[in-house]
Structure 1
């Protein structure tokens, strides 16, 4: 029998590595500044398909892929999630390229709170008092930011909304994370392939000064986009099985925190007063929300028994 403390420790390391991967993504995409965001996302999708198939082969789960693909409900759900994930990736890469890392990090801070609303609307889950307080504080923070940074607020809301909807669809679809991502990228494979053929024999987007085939370092980074999609996902999926859900939820705030710090201290993005107030209120909101998730749910369960 496995030692629970050892399993939890391994899970913590896996979750930490996954969140670090996601947190340092701005640096990765900044290295591809000379390539248009659409081309970066196209390569990320294109190379993900063969890589994920290889992963499923070695994990002996190709049968799971066939079974999920044979289910019309799963196929329909993943068609919707493939569009959401493509839009999320494209918005994020564009935001990094245009020096809006702070706006992107704010989107992922807001995401859990939007997810709560979606769960209430579509899954009929009820908000507890502290959750309403947390949502209200976050709404005040976003409203303050909207007054001064209206031109970039759409980035935060687009990322938060697309990722929350993606999470909702994936919750409804009964499919594993790797199998699901394989089907999603397979849906997008043909359009992406046609786009890359057009780039090869046509012309690169106006915002591209380099693209695949020009420099070995760029080629490696574009191919590596598949790895940065698959590796943290596998680590996080493995960690979820070993750790409490509340701890996992708290650790997910590490990634946007790292992105925030990278935006401010590495790339010197302007940090306005409204940014500071908004982020403080968001962090307070998340602290209340997380505390309620850890202590509120067990208390409610105990009261019901």
Structure 2
């Protein structure tokens, strides 16, 4: 395996593992209001990403976004989507709904498939159609058994799915995009910090440990993103796709075995349906990779014979 691919796999494992254990931090910080944690996440992420932008000399790319009305409007939409996603995720953890958050990120790849079919006219093969049907069956089962939609899971899956769609349309690199999004959210975060008063909103009165923990919201957001960007430059998106299930799997394990969230037979059935859908997607991806590899081998033999 090429060295770049090895390092890419390392970065991917690091990124998705950090995303998997991030709920531990947000759970520990649940004594602070969700909106306040979100505000700190925006402020410190913005500071870190701007330093990185300057260090990597990408300030020109940042200026280009703010001088293009069309691009800026698209980034405003992505900002709203990621803001809702972050806020819902933090709230879910603090409200003992980490299982629902896990379910949302399991559903996300299936939402992305639907969006690709709707907006990019991508055709679904029978395997992917079956996976989508299983996803709908899981949601329908939740409604029938519990009498309501699994709204936390659906909000997380849909906002992140549309966020990916918008970012794909705009085609801006991760750091520039995050810089724009946090800059757009920054005024709201600062207004919140100066107008809403809680027991921890005044950092001058907080214990130093609390302030350091609040600042940690920035690195906890940015470090996995940096690793993901490094991985994306070294391995294929298909390979990255296999790693994306580490995050929700880690959340599921934390919810059940560390935080003792109840896993009823009905809830387990929902997860079983989603896991079955994801198993079909993984099988289909492996099949496509093998077919592509076989095709390249045949083409290579043909070229050799021609020479």
TM over 0.5: yes
Structure 2, unmatched stretches of 5+, are 300-307
The corresponding residue for 1:125 is 122
Farther-moved stretch of structure 1 (55-64 vs 171-180): 55-64
Q: Deviation per CA, 1:81-107, whole angstroms, max 9, x where unpaired?
A: 000000000001000000000000000
Q: State how 1:1-305 maps to structure 2 within 5 Å.
A: 5-150=2-147, 153-199=150-196, 203-204=197-198, 210-213=200-203, 214-296=206-288, 299=291
Deviation at 1:223, TM superposition (A): 1.1
The question of whether the paired residues in 2 share the 8 Å contact of 1:34 and 1:210 is answered with no
SS in 2 for 1:24: helix
The question of whether the paired residues in 2 share the 8 Å contact of 1:73 and 1:173 is answered with no
Distance 2:178 2:221 in 1: 9
Distance 2:249 2:107 in 1: 12
The question of whether the paired residues in 2 share the 8 Å contact of 1:74 and 1:174 is answered with no
Structure 1, unmatched stretches of 5+, are none
Distance 1:284 1:152 in 2: 20
Distance 1:150 1:255 in 2: 28
Distance 1:34 1:145 in 2: 30
Distance 2:235 2:21 in 1: 23
- CA shift in 2, pair 1:245/1:42, >3 Å: same
Q: Deviation per CA, 1:129-175, whole angstroms, max 9, x where unpaired?
A: 11001111222222223333455710000100000000000000121
Deviation at 1:300, TM superposition (A): 8.2
SS in 1 for 2:2: helix
Distance 2:88 2:149 in 1: 12
Query: Superposition RMSD on alpha carbons, in Å?
Result: 1.9
Farther-moved stretch of structure 1 (234-243 vs 154-163): 234-243
Distance 2:272 2:91 in 1: 25
Count of paired positions: 294
- CA shift in 2, pair 1:150/1:183, >3 Å: farther
Q: Deviation per CA, 1:184-238, whole angstroms, max 9, x where unpaired?
A: 1111111111111113xxx32xxxx544522222211211111111111111111
Deviation at 1:295, TM superposition (A): 1.9
Bigger Cα Rg: 2
- CA shift in 2, pair 1:268/1:119, >3 Å: same
Distance 1:219 1:108 in 2: 30
Deviation at 1:255, TM superposition (A): 0.4
Deviation at 1:245, TM superposition (A): 1.8
The question of whether the paired residues in 2 share the 8 Å contact of 1:212 and 1:218 is answered with no
Distance 1:175 1:272 in 2: 42
